[in-house]
Structure 1
Amino acid sequence: MTVQLHARDVGAGTPLVLLHAFPLSSAMWLEQREGLAGRFRVITPDLRGFGGSRLGDDPPSIDRMADDVALLIRRLGLDGAVVAGLSMGGYVAMALCRRHPDLVLGLVLASTKASADTDQARRNRLRQADALDRDDDVNVLLDEVLPNLVGPTTFQQRALVYGRVRGLVQATPAPAAAWAQRAMAGRPASFDTLRGLTVPALVVSGDEDPLSTGEDARAMVEALPDAEPVVIPQAGHLCAIERPDLFNRAVGEFTATLARASR
């Protein structure tokens, strides 16, 4: 069954729903709430188990996470929203397009991929999930996931940003992280969903991202009928945190263009 998600809701205008990365929470969108709420209604939910949202007892599923987001959008009385997802949030956004396409007015996919996990990646996720359950802490994420979340420029030159990301990972509940890893391990490929999309899309990638590569971004752009690519320089996987000025500019221009076209 769906979970009623905790969400921050600020600003007015075209609704912009931002779906966070793993293993963070909606706290990662601080600069987006501050930078975009003057132009749009910015809605940042905590996906199930993260932040202020409860986990529930459903089997792990990206589809279930998408249904949660659909429930939130409808609960807020919205006919639809521009939906932006980063990393895991991108997987959820693509599932939302597949299961609730009427709610998506435009799609932003950042630092994510439409392919399913390789066998090796799937085994790695499941191993980490088992460790999270066994140890009941997030040390495996700090050791194995955190190093790939930001690019070398951020690691070397933006100590405060890296420290903030580390703090967000440390705050993650281990049961939620284990559930989400299993959900991501079981997700299907989303290329058919992207090919059938009837709304504009923006594909954002960091040029120092080892997890979601430029090749992954190009594959999504090629599958989408109406997509614009944006590459953010000197940014890794968490490009919205590492270069919020450039991320906000790209997402703001995309959303404003959609808002003008709908008038």
Structure 2
Amino acid sequence: MIHFFEKGSGQPLVLLHGFCESGQMWSYFSEALSDQFRVICPDLPGFGNSPISSNKISLEEVAVQLEEWLEENQIHQPIVIGHSLGGYVALALLELMGNQIKAIGLFHSTSFPDDQDKKEMRDRTILFLKKNGVEKFVTSFVPPLFPENRREELASEISLAIKDAKRSSLDGLIAYAGAMRDRKDRFEVVKNFIGPKLFIAGTEDGAVKIEASRAQQNGFSHYVELQGVGHMGMIEDQEKTLSIVRTFCLSAI
């Protein structure tokens, strides 16, 4: 059972949240874009109000669940944009559904797999979660997603992000840490997709290094770098990123 909310009508636009997030992270975007699109924001299984049945899942399994959910809710030819983990899920969905997806966007995400250092970090995350639980993990995980020099300025936004992250289930966090660690390289999947493709990168992103983003640039029809922005551009540079997403989505229809 995938919980979601939607606003507006017309061309479907599915916004997928990242790790330790829920569909609520897109509240501002969904409201702003609902004047031109049918904006749909699901909670991925294990986050927000969507349950998960175990602490093991693959991105391919999530994509199958989303494909079924899209069909059930008559969401056809959607534009799919995913933040971080949501981007990984969007790529798995693209591989599954191909030209049934109208356009795709990666928001502080990557089509590349984890390198060895990142895989080891995922393993440490799983051990930490099993030992310490959700609250202790998210309290330490969320703030570094924002640039250090702006954390005081964005204190209230960070506080809200932590509050939303605490709604994540322990099984969900463990499951997706493993799924992200084990995900495959999908650069060729996105490169071979003939629809419009958006990539938004932050020059100060600690989770997706700018060098890795630039290495994928030729796989996307629209590539944008946000100067001085970390991993949370939709919060750090709200109006600019909203404009980028709107312009891309309008160009895709």
- Using structure 2 for the length normalisation, give the TM-score: 0.94
Note if 1:61 corresponds to 2:77: no
**Identical-residue share of aligned pairs (%):** 26
- Tell me the equivalent position of 2:203: 207
Query: Which segments of 5 or more consecutive residues in structure 2 lack a partner in the other structure?
Result: none
Measure how far apart 1:249 and its partner are.
0.5
SS in 2 for 1:50: coil
> Which of 184-193 and 230-239 deviates more?
230-239
Say what the alpha-carbon RMSD is for the aligned residues: 1.7
Distance 1:102 1:154 in 2: 40
Matched residue, 1:238:
232
Number of residue-to-residue matches in the alignment:
253
Match of 1:247 among 222, 234, 241: 241
Structure 1 gaps, min length 5? none
Contact 1:36 1:252 in 2 (8 A): yes
- 1:77-88 superposed matches below 5 A: 77-88=74-85
* Alpha-carbon offset, residue 148 of structure 1: 2.4
Specify the alignment match of 1:185 in structure 2.
181
Question: Residue 244 of structure 1: CA displacement?
Answer: 1.9
Q: Distance in 1 between matches of 2:23 and 2:75?
A: 20
Partner of 2:48: 51
Give distance in 2, aligned partners of 1:18 and 1:153: 28
Distance in 2 (CA, whole Å) between partners of 1:158 and 1:147 is 10
TM superposition shift of 1:59: 3.4
- Partner Cα distance (2:225, 2:150) in 1: 16
Please say which of residues 232-241 and 88-97 is displaced more in the overlay.
232-241
In 2, distance between residues paired with 1:116 and 1:245? 30
**TM-aligned CA deviation for residue 38 of structure 1:** 1.2
CA distance in 1: counterparts of 2:149 and 2:69, whole angstroms: 36
Q: 1:176 aligns with which of 172, 175, 196?
A: 172
Aligned residues of 2:56 and 2:178 also touching (Cα < 8 A): no
- With normalisation by structure 1, the TM-score equals 0.90
Q: Does 1:151 align with 2:147?
A: yes
